[in-house]
A and B are shown apart, each in its own frame.
Chain A
Amino acid sequence: MQAFRRLQILLRRLFLRNKNSELDEELAFHLDRQIEANVVAGMGQTEARRQAMIAFGGVERTRGECREQRPGFWIERLAQDVRYALRGFRRNPTFTLTILVTLMLGIGATAAVFSVVDRILFRSLPYSHADRLVSVGLVQSLEAQEFMLGGFYYDWRRNQTPFESMTSETAVTRECDLTEGSPAQMSCPTVEVNFLPTLGITPVAGRNFLPEEGMPGAPRVALISYGLWLRHYNRDPRILNRTIEIDDKPVRVVGVLPKDFEMPRLQAADVVFPMTMDEAADRRSNEGIGGPKRVFARLKPGVSVEQAYAQLVPLFQQTQKWIPAEIRSNFRLKVRSLRDRQMQDVRLTAWVLLGTVIAVLLIACANVASLLMARGASRQRELAVRSALGASRGRLVSQALTEAALLSLAGALAGCVLAKGLLQAFVALAPANVPYISRVQLDARIVCFTVMLSFVCGVLFGLVPALQQPREEMLTGRTLASVSRAGLRQWLVVAQIAASVVLLTAAALMLRSFWGLEHQQLGMREDNTVTASITLGPRNYSSGASKMAFFQQLATRLRFGPGVQVVSVSDSLPPGNGHGAVRFGEILVDGRPRSMEGGGTVVTMRSISPEYFRALDIPVVRGEGFRDEDLNSSDRVVVLSQRLAEMLFPAGDSIGKLVNFDHVDFPKSPTWYRVVGVAANVKNGGLSGEQTPEYYLLRRNRADDWVGRGVWGQTSMVVVRSSLPSEETAKWIRLQVAALDPTLPVDIATLRQRVSKLADQPRFQASLVGFFAAIGLLLAVIGLYGVIAFLVAQRTQEIGMRMALGARRTDILQLVMARSMRLIAAGVAAGLVAALASSRVLASLLFGVGPRDPVTFALVPLLLVAIGLAATAIPARLASRVDPAVALRSE
């Protein structure tokens, strides 16, 4: 009731402004009664009025105070302040626009980047107490992501002490098909029954797996994802306990996963199956080492990752005894937080981006502060006048606050628009391995944060002039106060320039690194080459014979294409890794003892057709390489890369020697290969990776050679070198694949495109950092320009005097430029020190360029000096054109 009444009064106040006349009448009545009283007391009419007036005091002031009692008064005052501020902005459009653009760039860039990195660096994972979740397992040179095998996992699970619970999923997430209704291909992880409880996930409908559902012979059940429930079953609650058909087999749905559920390795999950825990069978599987697993665990409260590691060491030592002696030393224990496991090396990129954008934000803030201070200095007289006319300190402050708020609000609005656009660009640019990138949205909290920051920045520096007691002399002329504040502004400019030196250095290093990456010698020729990645469905092409038949037919068909010169089929392509790999210590040369030396070095393997070296134009430097006769021979032959040949046969006598690669797994009957050639080195560890020793096996006309293992087994890469344009060749490949099997998906790209895709992440980093460095530089230049222009404007009179006394234009030009040069030099020097100190962080992101690359560190300062001087040239020239007669009269 009370509130309603207040609102009523407020509204009446705002819309009916006739109260003033009522107040006047009330006051007049009071005065008249006083006069009457005075007359009654015996004064004359005139004297009575005079005395009454004196006793009454100032009417205007009472009026004002009565008005201020109104509930809605602050709105009136705010509206007044806003009107005043807007008028001020309109009067000075350059100032307003500069501040707005600065804020827009600062807020936009920060909000966009924060939205991307927030998930990576700060936001908690969608599991309960996610900070206690870890990924645990062994790593070795062939597999850098921790894994466990069925052969020892069960012992760990039984005997571990640091974890509340331990759980696993199968290392490979298989594809499965929904074979009812509208069929769909899906991703179907298989997890232990305690997987979801360990992560702290509760289904939104139904239940988690029961322990007995992980027993051998249990009925087939599954949990489905929220997305699948929505898309396929229209969120029908009757899905629970319904039987659906997956891969032609019935499965009962027992629950629906939460909307924001994600697997700890972030792979897609449409249907989740319980893992059948048959320990004995698992230990026997996979040639006696047990099925590979990814293991996750929840730490007991108060146990750190390091403590967990220490407590697991005895178990690890036990497991080491079980690993064959030749490769034992290659295995290490790894325990790390789930977040680290998920983000991998993206974390560093995220930090670098964050650092970059914070530098930009600081530069922007410095600009805003500097501009507001300049404005404050030029408004001192105005403030003094307002203060003399009776404006209280509070009013001046609230006026300054209003202006700061208006500016930051408008800047924030523009910044949000920019951030939206930037985010879209990021998502388009980002390589696939940046987690969550496709789901990134502009975060409201982050927008708030940046708006607050810019507001604080504006208030802080907008308030300085308002808080100073305006002095009377300001009414008459100018003082040195404004000049002293220009000193602070100069420091700001120095800081800005220093920050942009750091930014530019980082950007230049990353751009140079990216350039080197793109233009390095790969050891093969990428022109006129079209590649097709073809994955055969596991249902129709399970046997080696069927795969061989398909690819051989395809190769034959492709060879007859117009302009086709060579066609090759291989399991993988450089500069990517081969899919198979051994450790160097596992390679045995006939007639030599086993050597344990340098055993851990990874040697990668490719299965290829004889045309491979010609298709990629890799020279065979020794021996003959694979011949067509080898295809039908029962002999097994191998081609070594030059690097591997030098390691195995330092004397250069490799041709004709017998080697084997599997004596660790099959010590009794290893498979021997005869070396028939040595091929030149090819980049094969990714674009930025080290040169890996490599060997090539021939896929002969035998079904066994085509049996691939694991996820990659169904995929082969076809390379077609042709004299026709790549679009034509691509069309031809598509046509021929469709003729053999119209249902097969084909991924066609030129070899150059595939190589360039590998550079996605460096490109992303380099372009982003480069972009922000450019923004930072732009803002710093604006700041420098502003300060110099302000100084020139302040010294107009002095310059006029100097010219009147005989200074030439060049002298004035020199005077201004020297001032600016001092600022630039100080900024560049400070920036170089900071850049030298901080660029080491980038080291692991750089390729072929040191973090202290002398070229970069020489060019960046030069660039900054040049740009800085250019920015100064405009005000300097203006100063040199000052007409002494006008300048001297100006005040």
Chain B
Amino acid sequence: MPPQSDLLQGTLDLLILKSLTLEPMHGWGIAQRIQQVSKDVLQVGQGSLYPALHRLEYKGWIEAEWGGSENNRRAKFYSLTKTGKKQLETELENWERLTKAIGLVLKEA
């Protein structure tokens, strides 16, 4: 099993929002997407995934709908709301700023 990186607080929210930009997805799908795209570096366990999804839903950034999944089972699909999209943009900006800053520090020091 590849080493599991601790996700920075709040980073998970960003990853979830980003994963949902293409299409509505269910929880399992989101976890898989993050794992695949990160080449198995980032593994999201359900213990943190579902509370995060619920939190985002209550904040109104994503919304959920029950629909049929690939294997014809009922699953809960999450999609970005308008405010979620806006939120993603600001979070991305923040992230860029943060990583750039950290990069600068690491290079200089």
| A-to-B contact residues, CB < 8 Å | 2, 5-6, 9, 22-23, 25-27, 29-30, 32-34, 36, 55-58, 61-62, 65-66, 68-71
Contacts and interface: CB of A to CB of B under 8 A. Distances in A.
In the complex, the 7 A-B pairs of residues with the closest C-beta atoms, listed nearest first: A65-B51, A69-B54, A33-B28, A69-B55, A66-B54, A30-B28, A26-B76
Nearest to A73: B58
Interface in B42-94: 45-47, 50-51, 54-55, 58, 60, 69, 71, 73-76, 83
B74 A25 contact: yes
Nearest to A30: B28
Given A32-B73, A69-B54, A57 B27 contact: no
Contact of B45 (A9, A25, A57, A66): A57
A29 B51 contact: no
B75 A29 contact: yes
B26 interface: yes
A64 to B, nearest CB: 9
Contacts of A55: 45
Given A65-B51, A69-B51, A69-B58, A30 B46 contact: yes
Given A9-B58, A29-B28, A62 B46 contact: yes
A61 B51 CA distance: 10
B83 A2 contact: yes
Contacts of B28: 29-30, 33-34
Interface string B7-31: 0000000000000000000111001
A466 B99 CA distance: 42
Given A9-B58, A29-B76, 14 more contacts: A5-B60, A6-B58, A23-B50, A25-B74, A25-B76, A27-B50, A29-B73, A29-B74, A30-B28, A30-B50, A36-B71, A57-B45, A65-B51, A70-B54
A29 B26 contact: yes
A65 B47 contact: yes
A22 B50 contact: no
Interface residues of B, number: 20
Residue with the highest number of chain A CB atoms closer than 10 Å, among B26, B51, B55: B51
6 contacts: A6-B60, A23-B50, A29-B28, A29-B75, A33-B28, A69-B51
Contacts of B26: 26, 29
B13 to A, nearest CB: 12
Given A6-B60, A69-B55, A69-B58, A30 B27 contact: yes
A94 B55 CA distance: 44
Nearest to B75: A29
Please indicate which of the listed interface residues B45, B47, B50, B73 has the most CB atoms of chain A within 10 Å of its own CB. Answer: B50
B73 to A, nearest CB: 6
Contacts of A61: 47
* Chain A facing B: main interface SS: helix
Contacts of A69: 51, 54-55, 58
Nearest to A13: B58
A6 B61 CA distance: 12
A55 B4 CA distance: 13
B7 to A, nearest CB: 15
Contacts of A32: 73
Contacts of A68: 51
A32 B71 CA distance: 11
A22 B54 CA distance: 12
B36 to A, nearest CB: 12
Contacts of B54: 66, 69-70
A57 B50 CA distance: 13
Given A66-B51, A66-B54, A69-B55, A27 B75 contact: no
A60 to B, nearest CB: 11
A529 B50 CA distance: 93
Nearest to A19: B54
Interface of B: 26-28, 31, 45-47, 50-51, 54-55, 58, 60, 69, 71, 73-76, 83
Nearest to A63: B50
Contacts of B58: 6, 9, 69-71
Contacts of A27: 46, 50
A35 to B, nearest CB: 11
Contacts of A22: 76
Contacts of B46: 27, 30, 56-57, 62
Contacts of B75: 26, 29
Contacts of A34: 28
Contacts, number: 60
A53 to B, nearest CB: 11
A395 B26 CA distance: 33
Given A29-B28, A34-B28, A62 B50 contact: yes
B15 to A, nearest CB: 17
A542 to B, nearest CB: 85
Contact of A29 (B55, B60, B69, B83): B69
A22 B75 CA distance: 10
A33 B27 CA distance: 10
Contacts of B60: 2, 5-6
Contact of A58 (B31, B47, B51, B71): B47
B14 to A, nearest CB: 17
Given A2-B60, A26-B76, A29-B69, A62 B47 contact: yes
A62 B45 CA distance: 10
A21 to B, nearest CB: 12
A33 B47 CA distance: 16
Contacts of A65: 47, 50-51
Given A34-B28, A66-B54, A57 B47 contact: yes
A173 B98 CA distance: 78
Contacts of B47: 57-58, 61-62, 65
Nearest to B69: A29
A56 B49 CA distance: 11
Contacts of B83: 2
B45 A26 contact: no
Nearest to B31: A30
Residue among B26, B46, B83 with the most chain A CB within 10 A? Answer: B46
Contacts of A6: 58, 60
B4 to A, nearest CB: 11
A66 B74 contact: no
A517 to B, nearest CB: 72
A614 to B, nearest CB: 94
Contacts of A62: 46-47, 50-51
Nearest to A61: B47
A568 B75 CA distance: 107
Nearest to A36: B71
Nearest to A56: B46
A34 B51 CA distance: 19
B75 to A, nearest CB: 5
A56 B47 CA distance: 8
A61 B50 CA distance: 11
A95 to B, nearest CB: 39
B61 to A, nearest CB: 11
A68 B50 CA distance: 12
B67 to A, nearest CB: 12
A317 B69 CA distance: 105
A36 B73 CA distance: 13
A122 to B, nearest CB: 47
Nearest to A10: B58
Contacts of A25: 74, 76
Q: Which of A32, A36, A65 has the most CB of B within 10 A?
A: A65
Contacts of A66: 50-51, 54
Contact of B27 (A5, A26, A36, A70): A26
Nearest to A71: B58
Contacts of A30: 27-28, 31, 46, 50
Contacts of A26: 26-27, 50, 75-76
B24 to A, nearest CB: 14
Nearest to B73: A29
B92 to A, nearest CB: 21
A607 to B, nearest CB: 89
Interface hub of B28, B71, B75 (most chain A Cβ within 10 A)? B28
